[in-house]
């Protein structure tokens, strides 16, 4: 009974710290709760935290537009930028169309993680740190969500570029907090858009300080969590990251066969009236997976507005054509 009451109080404190923007207390509570839980109990706790966080975010978006608070007053009460967001993805391999080489590497990672304890006990090396390189929309973030979904562990999205929103003295401390959380709570930690760190708007001296500290922490980490670092292009930063990971996976825009497989997979989600996707796949070449999926979603929305089903190839091809035209492809 006492344990149950204590957990309830911790959950209330956790949500309160999030709503008040007290990130230091938020991380402290996460660490404390993770240390007290093991196995399936930890998973159940993380799922409940995700539900509470989503509810809190939804409440924050419904701000009364008639509020008389001035923009200056609102600015003074804004909390520092959130560095970490987490969720429990339900994606599976069947949701994505990946190149065989990429699929094999991710499947190996998943198999190793499912047998993490026995492999570690034998002193064998594990692949835990990946660098995903490729253009926007090529499936890098979706791949991370699939890994988390297949393993049934939380996905922590780390917005590393937001560390510049904190004071100079706080930046390294924030990084250390993140890595303490990584050690305490097993999960998939996705460091998205690493290239943003070398943006011209960021001071080069500050970038070097942050990156050197980050790379050192990545290299020294020996937790049970999985690191997935994401880069759009092989920059100097990318080469430095590649030295600290066990595997580099290159993503590209989907090829014809992948597009056909992607279109067929969506027939399970949408009432698509088609069996031959050849012309549609040819039209979609040059678009990313994300753009193709969005075109299907737009066609479904329009069909719903028009009160007609099923969705036809012509509906999808119309949307694909508009997307290619807008992108100049």
Q: Where are the domains of the chain?
A: 1-58, 80-252, 256-327
Q: Is the pTM of this model over 0.85?
A: no
* CA–CA separation, 20 and 76 (whole Å): 13
Q: What are the distances in angstroms from CA 238 to CA 21, 182, 214, 229? A: 32, 22, 13, 9
By C-alpha distance, which of 142, 40, 43 is closest to 91? 142
pLDDT attached to residue 5: 53
Backbone angles phi, psi at 11, to 5 degrees: -65, -40
Helices (H) and strands (E) in the chain, counts: 14, 8
End-to-end CA distance of the chain: 63
Average pLDDT over residues 309-317: 85
Please identify, in words, the CATH class of the domain defined by 256-327: mainly alpha
**Interior/surface letters 252-290, b for 16+ CB within 10 angstroms, e for the rest:** ebbeeebbbbbbeebbeebebebeebeebbebbeebbbe
95-148 pLDDT, tens per residue? 777 888 999 999 999 999 999 889 988 988 888 999 999 888 888 998 999 999
242 pLDDT higher than 90: no
DSSP 131: E
pLDDT digits (tens, 9 = 90+) for 192-239: 877 776 655 555 676 777 778 888 888 888 888 999 998 887 665 666
Using CA atoms in the order 65, 68, 71, 77, what is the torsion angle rounded to 10 degrees? -100
Q: How far apart (Å, rounded) are the C-alpha atoms in residues 108 and 45?
A: 28
Q: Which CATH architecture has domain 80-252?
A: 3-Layer(aba) Sandwich (3.40)
């Amino acid at each position: 009974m006492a344990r149950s009451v204590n957990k309830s109080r911790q959950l209330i404190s956790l949500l309160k710290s999030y709503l008040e923007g007290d990130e230091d207390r938020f991380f402290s509570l996460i660490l404390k709760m993770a240390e007290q839980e093991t196995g399936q109990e930890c998973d159940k706790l993380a799922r409940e935290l995700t539900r509470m966080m989503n509810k809190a975010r939804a409440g924050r978006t419904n701000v009364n537009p008639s509020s008389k608070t001035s923009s200056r007053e609102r600015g003074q009460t804004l909390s520092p930028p959130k560095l970490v967001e987490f969720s429990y993805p339900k994606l599976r391999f069947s949701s994505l169309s990946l190149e065989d080489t990429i699929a094999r590497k991710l499947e190996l990672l998943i198999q190793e993680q499912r047998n993490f304890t026995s492999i570690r006990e034998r002193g064998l090396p594990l692949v835990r740190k990946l660098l995903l390189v490729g253009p926007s929309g090529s499936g890098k973030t979706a791949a991370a969500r699939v890994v988390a979904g297949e393993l049934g562990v939380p996905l922590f999205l780390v917005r590393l570029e937001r560390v510049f929103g904190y004071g100079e003295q706080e930046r390294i401390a924030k990084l250390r907090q993140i890595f303490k959380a990584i050690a305490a709570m097993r999960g998939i930690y996705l460091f998205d858009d690493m290239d943003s760190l070398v943006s011209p708007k960021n001071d080069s001296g500050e970038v070097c300080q942050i990156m050197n500290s980050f790379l050192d922490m990545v290299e020294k980490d020996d937790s049970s969590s999985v690191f997935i670092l994401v880069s759009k292009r092989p920059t100097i930063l990318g080469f430095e990251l590649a030295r600290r990971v066990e595997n580099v996976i290159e993503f590209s825009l989907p090829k014809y066969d992948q597009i056909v497989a992607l279109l067929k997979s969506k027939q399970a989600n949408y009432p698509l009236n088609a069996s031959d996707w050849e012309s549609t796949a040819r039209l979609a070449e040059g678009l990313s997976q994300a753009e193709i999926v969005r075109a299907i979603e737009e066609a479904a929305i329009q069909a719903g507005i028009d009160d007609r089903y099923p969705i036809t190839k012509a509906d999808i091809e119309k949307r694909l054509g508009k997307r290619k035209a807008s992108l100049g492809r």
